[in-house]
Structure 1
Amino acid sequence: MGLLTVLSALSLLGSVQAEFNVVRHVSQAPRAEVATDLPPAEFSVSFTAKTPRRSSKRTALEALTGRPSKKRPGVRAATAGGGDTVVVDGSDFDEEYLTNFTVGGQPFSLIVDTGSSDTWVPQIGFNCFDLDGNPVPETTCAFGTPGFNIKASKTFQPFPNVSFNITYGDGEFLSGPVGFDTISIGGLSVTHQEIAVPNLAAWEGDGVNTGLAGFAFSGLTSVFNTTDPTKASSENQLPYNPLFLTAVNEKKVANPFFSIALDRGTFDQQENDPFDPNLGFISFGGIAPVPVVNTAVTVPVQGYSATTGLPENGPGAEFFFYTVDIQSYTFPGSNRLVTANNNTILDTGTTLNFVPTDVAAAYNAQFKPKAVLDEDFDLYVVDCDATVPPFDVTIGGKTFSIDARDQIIPAGTDDNGNIICITGTQDGGPAGNGDIFIMGDVFLHNVVATFNPVAGEVTLIQRAKY
């Protein structure tokens, strides 16, 4: 999600009480994988929509839709197993990936986010605010439904004397009550999931989504042992199991991993259509059902030291995000730079890639004509018809290529109605101890990413061209 979420999570290190620490086994070395090593998914859910990114992300990307890949000669396809197939969609010019959930029997379209951990749906009658904290009409928050009706759910159980409080990097925030309920996505259903039902929201919605489902680690959750959300702090944080870990604990999946394949959309779709259905899959217990090739690797999730807050691979590392070591970025001129980085998050909730400053500058200079840094927006702007330089990412000794179509993105129009384009790989700040970078949807369009939060591993497989 947003940078503020990242920094807030890291600020918890060293101050959270020991009983709240999230410590799991971390594999110590990358290993080669092939698609057949991963079983077919028990439940595969299509992304039902792609929706607008929150404002901080909207400036970075207005379009990433797509269609499920078709099999091509000579390409192996990872096939889904039994159970329902759940597709993800996109809306607000394909800036968010959504799929259909039910909470207490009530249907909602939720954002699927591997860069955060909370699942939340605003309750009916919530109070809406602008980003400055001023009350505004409920319609301003632009959720896709009026919200969750607690009284209409036969399975909702309140969690007394606690509160939910989160602020995203673009200034959006939510706070309010917490409870437990049954949540279903496709054929997967958990019966006792902790969920936030905020009654205060500052949200720049798209008229489609009515909340978010987080799939990162427990240490990143935002429930606190206080009824006053303004008093939330690291000292009273109450970490809990996110949705998928609850499914594992309830033995609803045979294998403790989920898999995501995000499709890209056409340039025209990204620029002109605020809603785009069928943009890939989220699958549970096995690999997402799209064609893949043999480039594959399993790598350990990068943890963080409880004392320093810096990346650490030791057995006592605490997990927050699906953070991996980047061995190198390869593009024309990259041999003149240090491109390795060990603090990079795989995040479906961020559209762009955010890489170290010198890497972003060198890569964007290779577009023809060159991409230019817009000082007002702090983004590289590029000619929409520019020639795109190749860009490869090496992780665990395996190199994954990014399609050129992911590197030029329509991001609105100027005063004369001309389309403004930005590049898919942007400046994430200077490299240094503790600096965090992101491989977002621009990278994830090109791989099947399978996340194992129990073993602390991620398997990446190069997708076939589509």
Structure 2
Amino acid sequence: MLPVLPLFVLTVILSVVSKPVVIRDSQFNLPVVRKLNFTGESTIPELDRARSQSILKRPTRIVHGDAARAVFDVAATNEALQYVTSVGVGTPPTNYTLIVDTGSANTWLGAMKPYVRTNSSVDTGQQVSMTYPSGSFSGEEFTDRLSLGSFNVTVQGLGVASRSIGFENVDGVLGLGPANLTIGTLFPDTEATIPTVTDTGFAQGVLTAHEVSISFQPTTEEVNVNGVVTFGGNNPSRFNNPISFVPLTATSPSKDFIGINQTITYGTSGFPILANAAGIIDAGTTLLLLATDTLQRYLTVVGGSNEPDPETGFYTISPANFARLQSLFFTIGDTAYEFTANAQIWPRSLNTAIGGNPNTIYLITADLGTRSGSGLDFMNGMVWLERFYFIYDVGAGEVGFATTPFTHATTN
């Protein structure tokens, strides 16, 4: 279900005083799964577009942390649309399946499996609620012990839903975005923020750095253990080149999220698709969303369909035009990242998973629903992140990217 949740960005001053300890967990300690959990009549592009509309109203705040000690790798399982993870809650822990979202900051459960209170569970006396483009929840805010593989935090803010809508086959959400996105979700303390597990782990001296990194990769299977989420640093075995960092954008509303500036060109001629503009990196969005006029420019130059397919909501491209399709180039800072022709289409082996025709070629670009120049001109979603390594350095207020062994894969 949910390719639609909002993420946020925390700015923290980082001071590392000791050599990090790297903990590489078994791939089964923290399974992260992309699931086809959307419900109702909405298509994936419609849900992604609804997510983009929720990004226009968020405040910002600076949070400071202390140095810490370790880097934790946790495995990720790809299941076609979104990632979930098994999070242990309580003492002893009960495992819950939560959607991994870098576009929101509230962590909560209770959509499916009921919350089990233990000695580490504390009711804060606060009510909590959150509305997503594809659903909502409301309930009580607790603090508790959370375990993600070998990564453990205590006194972690945790919403316990008494009511939820739009979440099926999952227990809730693990929000990894900026904590300012939680402002207004508590009552009566409406101005309070709720730290994410990354924030809490750094503040409690568990993590070496106030960072979270994502390594996804494309798949042709609905279940594939092929990714790694790293807390407290990065995993050099997952990328090819040195990471190139850029500061977060200063353009609103993208600046309230993991926002960057980028330029997009097409092909060897450098045909302009998007002039330097602001948008966000969002693992909770499935597709690559572009401003309406930018998308039309792209569809025209590649020979894509004039209208989206009525069954799936995806734009399509003919076999003849796909054979001529060239790479897109995303210039972020001083580095141009090649997004190949293969990366621009949905995996054909998964066409039926989106309700599509097995023989149709679907493009992974979709309409953001805004005009360029809005301050939110793109959302580089999960399909984009499957081709590049991504690190969000909260402490430095910047993000980094690198190519991976799957940047030029022909999986799709």
Give TM-score scaled by structure 1 length. 0.69
Distance 2:87 2:131 in 1: 23
Please say if residues 330 and 338 of structure 2, whose CA atoms lie closer than 8 Å, have aligned partners that are also in contact. Answer: yes
Corresponding residue number in structure 1 for 2:316 = 381
Q: Assess, with a 3 A threshold, how the Cα gap between structure 1 residues 379 and 430 changes in structure 2: closer, same or farther.
A: farther
Residue identity over aligned pairs, in percent, reads 20
1:246 and 2:200 are equivalent in the alignment = yes
Q: Assess, with a 3 A threshold, how the Cα gap between structure 1 residues 426 and 103 changes in structure 2: closer, same or farther.
A: same
Corresponding residue number in structure 2 for 1:101 = 87
1:358 and 2:321 are equivalent in the alignment = no
Q: Secondary structure at the match of 2:400?
A: strand
Corresponding residue number in structure 1 for 2:215 = 261
Corresponding residue number in structure 1 for 2:123 = 158
1:192-233 CA distances to partner (integer Å, 9 max, x unpaired)? 10011111110242x3x3221111101111554536xxxxxx
Corresponding residue number in structure 2 for 1:30 = none
* Among candidates 424, 430, 446, match of residue 387 of structure 2: 446
* Among candidates 241, 258, 262, match of residue 326 of structure 1: 262
1:236 and 2:183 are equivalent in the alignment = no
The 5 Å alignment of 1:406-417 reads: 406-409=343-346, 410-412=350-352
Amino acid at match of 1:116: S
Amino acid at match of 1:408: I
1:4-55 CA distances to partner (integer Å, 9 max, x unpaired)? 858xx9xxxxxxxxxxx976569xxxxxxxxxxx978545675442212545
Q: Assess, with a 3 A threshold, how the Cα gap between structure 1 residues 98 and 226 changes in structure 2: closer, same or farther.
A: closer
Corresponding residue number in structure 2 for 1:348 = 283
Corresponding residue number in structure 2 for 1:31 = none
Distance 1:277 1:413 in 2: 15
Q: Assess, with a 3 A threshold, how the Cα gap between structure 1 residues 222 and 310 changes in structure 2: closer, same or farther.
A: closer
Corresponding residue number in structure 1 for 2:179 = 218
Distance 2:172 2:344 in 1: 28
Amino acid at match of 2:201: A
Q: Assess, with a 3 A threshold, how the Cα gap between structure 1 residues 90 and 2 changes in structure 2: closer, same or farther.
A: closer
1:203 and 2:166 are equivalent in the alignment = yes
* Among candidates 301, 304, 309, match of residue 248 of structure 2: 301
Q: Assess, with a 3 A threshold, how the Cα gap between structure 1 residues 455 and 224 changes in structure 2: closer, same or farther.
A: same
* Among candidates 362, 372, 389, match of residue 306 of structure 2: 372
Please say if residues 328 and 393 of structure 1, whose CA atoms lie closer than 8 Å, have aligned partners that are also in contact. Answer: yes
Q: Secondary structure at the match of 1:423?
A: coil
Q: Assess, with a 3 A threshold, how the Cα gap between structure 1 residues 414 and 149 changes in structure 2: closer, same or farther.
A: closer
Amino acid at match of 2:378: F
Corresponding residue number in structure 2 for 1:112 = 100
Amino acid at match of 2:306: V
* Among candidates 131, 135, 149, match of residue 186 of structure 1: 149
* Among candidates 327, 330, 355, match of residue 393 of structure 1: 330
Distance 2:104 2:206 in 1: 22
Q: Secondary structure at the match of 1:399?
A: strand
Distance 1:259 1:414 in 2: 28
Q: Assess, with a 3 A threshold, how the Cα gap between structure 1 residues 97 and 451 changes in structure 2: closer, same or farther.
A: same
For residue 328 of structure 1, report the CA deviation from its aligned partner.
3.4
For residue 436 of structure 1, report the CA deviation from its aligned partner.
4.7
Give TM-score scaled by structure 2 length. 0.77
Distance 1:156 1:220 in 2: 24
Please say if residues 96 and 349 of structure 1, whose CA atoms lie closer than 8 Å, have aligned partners that are also in contact. Answer: yes
Q: Assess, with a 3 A threshold, how the Cα gap between structure 1 residues 223 and 358 changes in structure 2: closer, same or farther.
A: closer
Distance 2:276 2:245 in 1: 18
* Among candidates 345, 354, 363, match of residue 423 of structure 1: 363
Q: Secondary structure at the match of 1:380?
A: coil
RMSD: 3.5
1:149 and 2:116 are equivalent in the alignment = yes
Distance 1:99 1:169 in 2: 21
Distance 1:202 1:372 in 2: 34
Amino acid at match of 1:215: L
Corresponding residue number in structure 2 for 1:175 = 138
List alignment gaps of at least 5 residues for structure 2.
49-68
1:405 and 2:346 are equivalent in the alignment = no
For residue 283 of structure 1, report the CA deviation from its aligned partner.
0.9
List alignment gaps of at least 5 residues for structure 1.
10-20, 27-37, 63-80, 127-142, 228-234, 312-318
Distance 1:178 1:407 in 2: 41
Q: Secondary structure at the match of 1:406?
A: helix
Corresponding residue number in structure 1 for 2:56 = none
1:140-187 CA distances to partner (integer Å, 9 max, x unpaired)? xxx4xx23223xx22110010x222111123x1111111100011111
Q: Assess, with a 3 A threshold, how the Cα gap between structure 1 residues 45 and 396 changes in structure 2: closer, same or farther.
A: farther
Q: Assess, with a 3 A threshold, how the Cα gap between structure 1 residues 296 and 113 changes in structure 2: closer, same or farther.
A: same
1:464 and 2:411 are equivalent in the alignment = no
Q: Assess, with a 3 A threshold, how the Cα gap between structure 1 residues 59 and 310 changes in structure 2: closer, same or farther.
A: closer
Q: Secondary structure at the match of 1:449?
A: strand
Distance 1:242 1:292 in 2: 26
Q: Secondary structure at the match of 2:256?
A: coil
Q: Secondary structure at the match of 1:454?
A: coil
